[in-house]
Amino acid sequence: MRKLNMYKNKTGGLLITFCGLDGCGKTTMLSRLAKELSQTCEVFVTKQPTDAVRNSDIFRTYMDCPDHSGYDYRSLSLLAASDRLQHVSKVIVPQMEKGKVVLSDRYFYSCLANLRARGFEGDRWIYEAAKSVIRPDIAFFFDVPVETAVARVRSRPEEETRYIDMELQYRLRDNYIRICRKNGGILLSTEASPEETYTEVIYRAKEIMEAKK
C-alpha cells in the first residue's frame, strides 16, 4: 500500500474527515463536533459518496444484497471515485475558500479501503486520482471490533435486516487501520465511552484550529 499523495490545503478553511466501518461511531462524533464548533465558527457538514451514487442501482446492489454478479466492483469504485473528486472540487473546496470548517462523513480513504478489501490491491489508478483531492487537516479513523460495529448497525430499526458481508467487514477494518497509519491519520477506538472518544476529537480539532490562526 502506498501513501495517497493528496494536495495541501492552501485555503483559509479547514477539512476534517471521519472514516471507519458502518457502526464505528463516526457519525455520532461528527455531529457532536459540528454542534460544538458551530458556536464559534462557520461549519459545513457533508458526506461521501453523494446521494447520486448512494441511490444508484450498482451501489444499492453492493450494499443491499449478496448477488453482485451483474456488476464489476471496479466500475462502482470508479463511479464513487469520480463522485468524490467532483464533490471535493465543487463542494468542499469552495466552502473552505470561504473560511469554513468542513466536516465530511467519509472521504477518499474509504474508496481505497473498499477497493483493496474487495481484492483490487494492485490497482494504481486510485493513487493518480488522489492527486486531485485536497488533503484533510485532520483525518479521523474510528475503530471498533467488527462484531460491535455490526451490532450497532443492527440496532437501527431501518437496518435490522440489512445484508452485511461479514468477511468484507474484517478486511475493511484491516485496511482502514493500515490506511490511517500510512497517511498520518488519527486512529481512535470507540469501544470506550463516547465521552472519552469525543474528548480526543475536540482536543485535536481545537489544536488544528489554533494552529491555523
Query: Tens digits of per-residue pLDDT, 114-154?
Result: 999 999 999 999 999 999 999 999 999 999 999 999 999 99
Taken in order of first residue, the domains within the chain and their CATH numbers are: 14-212 (3.40.50.300)
Tens-digit pLDDT profile for residues 27-44: 999 999 999 999 999 999
pLDDT at 63 over 90: no
More confident residue, 180 or 70: 180
Report the pLDDT averaged over residues 7-13.
96
Report the pLDDT averaged over residues 190-210.
93
In angstroms, what is the C-alpha Rg of the chain? 17
pLDDT at 51 over 80: yes
The runs of H, that is alpha helices, within 39-165 are 51-54, 57-64, 73-87, 93-97, 108-117, 125-130, 146-154
pLDDT at 160 over 90: no
Distance CA 67, CA 207 (A): 46
Residue with cell 484550529: 209
Distance CA 164, CA 139 (A): 26
Residue with cell 492527486: 131
Question: Cβ neighbours of residue 74 under 8 Å, at least 6 residues apart?
Answer: 115, 120, 123
pTM: 0.93
What kind and span of H or E run contains 113? helix 108-117
Report the pLDDT averaged over residues 62-83.
86
Cβ atoms 84, 17 nearer than 8 A:
no
Question: Cβ neighbours of residue 81 under 8 Å, at least 6 residues apart?
Answer: 108, 111, 126, 129
Cβ atoms 23, 144 nearer than 8 A:
yes
pLDDT at 60 over 90: no
Confidence tier at 212 by pLDDT (50, 70, 90): confident
Q: Which amino acid is at 75?
A: S
Cell reading at 177: 487501520
Report the pLDDT averaged over residues 181-208.
94
More confident residue, 16 or 165: 16
